[in-house]
Structure 1
Amino acid sequence: MQEQPTSPEILETVAAYLRDVAMPQLEGHAAFTARVAANAVDLVRREIELREASDCAEKERLVALLGHDGELEKLNADLAAAIREDRMDIEAPKLLSHLWQTSLEKLAIDQPRYASYRAALEETPEW
């Protein structure tokens, strides 16, 4: 049986083609557009690879913070309401830790080469 490449492997190949083959042959706006396309393909690949685990971890933290289960979107809305209505202390260490971790997980998908993100990975904030 022939092994099929995974979706992330296909996307990685497309991005590499755009960067290594297409872009060097292009100039000006076309080169810029190829770079944007390669970055978009990389973002989709990271989304496929990381989103499910990130969402699961975020949901676990929200359930622990709020004390009830639910869909991720609803839990986030409940957290926002609890903060807005002063039912949750904005300086609570567990909340700050959750917000920090959620931000890092989102940056791992959206902007993993962002300098501040890379620096933040080295930090362990004290809440």
Structure 2
Amino acid sequence: MHEAPSSEELLGAVIGFLTEKAAPQLSGQAAFHARVAANALALVEREMAQRQPADARARALYAALLNDTSSPLEALTKEVCARIRSGALACDDPALLAALREITSAQLTIDQPTYSGLKP
């Protein structure tokens, strides 16, 4: 059994240290860099927790849109783009818009969780 702190716990501890202990004692550029470092680590923490399910959902949405259950996400994404460019997939297609809205919201939740556009 592995009893050491998990990666998520370690990230949380460092983020907490930077935001609650270090940054308040710093000023100027050093305080700014401590906040930037804490924000970068928080992004990594969200990526670790949310990337895999977000990508799986994006793959499922694109697979349904393209009727292709075997291709990886990268290939499906390229195919969606190619079909939009060629006109084979209309930009106002409700299924496309719903898929893109969901995929974009998932990405924003990882990148910018406080983005006002995410609020209902």
Tell me which interval the TM-score lies in, with the shorter structure as reference length.
Answer: over 0.9
Q: Does 1:43 align with 2:43?
A: yes
Q: How does 1:91-102 map to 2 (within 5 A)?
A: 91-102=92-103
The whole-number CA distance in structure 2 between the counterparts of 1:90 and 1:30 is: 46
* 2:7 aligned partner: 7
Unmatched 5+ stretches in structure 1: 123-127
SS at match of 1:19: helix
Identity of aligned residues (%): 40
**Partner amino acid, structure 2, of 1:3:** E
TM-superposed deviation, 1:2? 6.3
TM-superposed deviation, 1:13? 1.0
Output the TM-score relative to the length of structure 2.
0.94
* 2:65 aligned partner: 65
* 1:125 aligned partner: none
The whole-number CA distance in structure 1 between the counterparts of 2:42 and 2:113 is: 10
RMSD value, Cα: 1.1
Q: Give deviations 1:64-93, integer Å, cap 9, x for gaps.
A: 001113111111000000000000011111
Q: How does 1:82-97 map to 2 (within 5 A)?
A: 82-97=83-98
* 1:77 aligned partner: 78
* 1:112 aligned partner: 113
* 2:21 aligned partner: 21
SS at match of 2:35: helix
The whole-number CA distance in structure 1 between the counterparts of 2:9 and 2:49 is: 10
**Partner amino acid, structure 2, of 1:86:** G
* 1:55 aligned partner: 55
The whole-number CA distance in structure 2 between the counterparts of 1:49 and 1:2 is: 19
**Partner amino acid, structure 2, of 1:94:** A
> Structure 1 87/26 Cα, relative in aligned 2: closer, same or farther at 3 Å?
same
Output the TM-score relative to the length of structure 1.
0.89
